[in-house]
Amino acid sequence: MSADQHNYNLSPGEIRETLLTLNHAIENHRKWFDTLHRSIIFNQEFPKDILDELAHTKCQFGKWYYGNTSKTFKHYDEFTLLEATHRYMHDNARKLSHSFINNETPSIDIYNKFISYQKEVIRLLQALHDKLINLSHGYDALTGLLNRGFITLMLDSLHEKSLRYKYLYSVAMLDADYFKKINDTHGHAAGDNVLKAIANHLRTSLRKSDSVGRIGGEEFLVILPETNKEDARFLLDKFRDSISKLKIDTGSEMINVTLSAGISQVSQDDEDSWQAVKRADYALYRSKENGRNRVTVAD
């Protein structure tokens, strides 16, 4: 799975919707391809969206591509490559169509180019589809945040970048205070509501460049790219304060919850990213020891 950080602010629901949109685009392209071949084989009239000079923008697939497509796609190389590939395919389809309309023998070279571009369009679309499927498997079922496995991949990828380019980032460990007491007092369904509320607040409160995952129980890991420990503390303290004011429905009453956090700035001396995570985890432990509902920065 790729670790392209621009794509992880989407919820599982948004990914499902994006997959449906992409599947619809693929189906529209297949229908266009079938229409062209029926026109050639059965000598039927060629549709305008095949003969038009701007056919690549006017077919159903083109309308999707040049229309209000999901930002999810635009971060992938395949999406960029589709523009030229799809246009070249239409150019050669138009040349073939005009040959038949003018009762001329079509060029085998043009036909081969058309088929080649057609296959490449399908390949690129399938690659996009597969990447989104992989992305959908990287989410925690309860909270919709990244799961432990996926955020681990992201963290490892980011650390490689930091070693190579001296890229600065910080990590933070967050933990819901007195979570066991919430479960014991209000039940596990209430505990689930608390975790979902924290997750939703994290998703909407953090910056677009930040990533957050649930790594177990009531613990969350936050990755803060291009952020030193002082700025990380400011961001996390602001979040801690806002979550403490949030009213969460347990099913029987509205309650407030608090969070404790530990932060560590990644060092060039860290052999791997999890050394920083361990320091952040120890800083989190110190926050708990010192009264909870606070943010501690690792030394």
Query: How far apart are alpha carbons 263 and 298 in whole angstroms?
Result: 6
Query: How far apart are alpha carbons 145 and 259 in whole angstroms?
Result: 17
Active-site annotation holds for 83: no
Helix, strand, or coil here: 220? strand
Instruction: Check 218, 226, 230, 253 and give the catalytic one.
Output: 218
Query: How far apart are alpha carbons 21 and 232 in whole angstroms?
Result: 37
State the CB neighbour count (10 A cutoff) for residue 149. 13
Beta strands in 177-256, from DSSP E residues, in sequence order: 211-216, 219-225, 248-249, 254-255
Query: How far apart are alpha carbons 53 and 218 in whole angstroms?
Result: 57
DSSP state of 146: B
State the CB neighbour count (10 A cutoff) for residue 228. 13
How many C-alpha atoms does 188 have within 13 Å on its Cβ side? 2
Output phi, psi for 58, to 5 deg: -110, -15
Q: How far is CA 167 from the centre of its chain?
A: 22
**3-state secondary structure string across 52-100:** CCCHHHHCHHHHHHHCCCCHHHHCCHHHHHHHHHHHHHHHHHHHHHHHH
- The residues that are catalytic are 218
